[in-house]
């Protein structure tokens, strides 16, 4: 939360205000922080969007990605040995006959690739989109699955 100089100055309520270099500095600092706060969602998206988690169940890896507002037809998933690539696009279409009065949700594209800790069987990969969360189940390749080895006494 930003506090502006006029909020802290008791004389500002009565219209009396000093105009000095410190007032100018405070105004510039307020403007700087306001501009930074309004640009933050765009910066976060560039840094690593969508947010993901990768879990190992032993038999497979499960990748979950938050993709709210992205339609199933606008998602592309590619798997090669131990790499997963996720691409997508969110399009905000205005219904015909309507006009836009305010637009805070922008159209965007994203692309991320992840190096997996093991090779996966690309033929058995399953993906499901539900409630804005993409869940990708990546079964491990037979050579990468853990094996039980029995020990015999001699």
Q: pLDDT band for position 43 (50/70/90)?
A: very low
Instruction: Assess if residue 121 is contained within a domain.
Output: yes
Instruction: Assess if residue 63 is contained within a domain.
Output: yes
In a shared domain, residues 44 and 55: no
Range of the domain at 44: 19-48
In a shared domain, residues 23 and 75: no
The CATH number that applies at residue 74 is 2.60.40.790
In a shared domain, residues 40 and 75: no
The model's pLDDT over 56-70, given as tens digits with 9 standing for 90+, comes to 998 999 999 999 888
Distance CA 85, CA 120 (A): 13
Instruction: Assess if residue 43 is contained within a domain.
Output: yes
Q: pLDDT band for position 44 (50/70/90)?
A: very low
Phi, psi (degrees; rounded to nearest 5) at 26: -60, -45
In a shared domain, residues 24 and 79: no
Instruction: Assess if residue 150 is contained within a domain.
Output: no
In a shared domain, residues 28 and 60: no
Which residue's entry shows tokens 């993906």? Answer: 127
In a shared domain, residues 27 and 62: no
Q: Long-range pairs for 40-49 at CB < 8 Å and ≥24 separation?
A: 45/108, 45/110, 48/112, 49/110, 49/112
The neighbour count for residue 12, using CB atoms within 10 Å, is 14
Distance CA 117, CA 79 (A): 13
Name the DSSP letter for residue 124: G
Conformational region of residue 35, where left means phi above 0, alpha means psi within -120 to 50, and beta covers everything else: alpha
In a shared domain, residues 42 and 78: no
- Alpha helix ranges (H) inside the chain: 5-8, 21-48
The model's pLDDT over 67-122, given as tens digits with 9 standing for 90+, comes to 988 899 999 999 988 899 999 998 877 888 888 888 777 788 899 999 999 999 99
Domain count, the chain: 2
């Amino acid at each position: 939360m930003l506090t502006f100089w006029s909020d802290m100055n008791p004389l500002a309520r009565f219209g009396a205000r000093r105009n000095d270099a410190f007032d100018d500095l405070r105004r510039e600092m307020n403007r700087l922080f306001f501009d930074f706060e309004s640009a933050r969602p765009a910066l976060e998206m560039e840094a690593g969007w969508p947010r993901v988690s990768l879990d190992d169940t032993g038999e497979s890896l499960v990748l979950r990605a938050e993709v709210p507002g992205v339609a199933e037809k606008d998602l592309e998933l590619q798997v090669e040995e131990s790499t997963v690539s996720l691409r997508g696009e969110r399009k905000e279409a205005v219904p015909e006959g309507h006009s836009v009065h305010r637009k805070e949700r922008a159209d965007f594209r994203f692309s991320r690739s992840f190096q997996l800790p093991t090779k996966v069987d690309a033929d058995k990969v399953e993906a499901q989109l539900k409630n804005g969360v993409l869940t990708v189940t990546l079964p491990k390749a037979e050579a990468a699955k853990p094996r039980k080895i029995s020990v015999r006494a001699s």
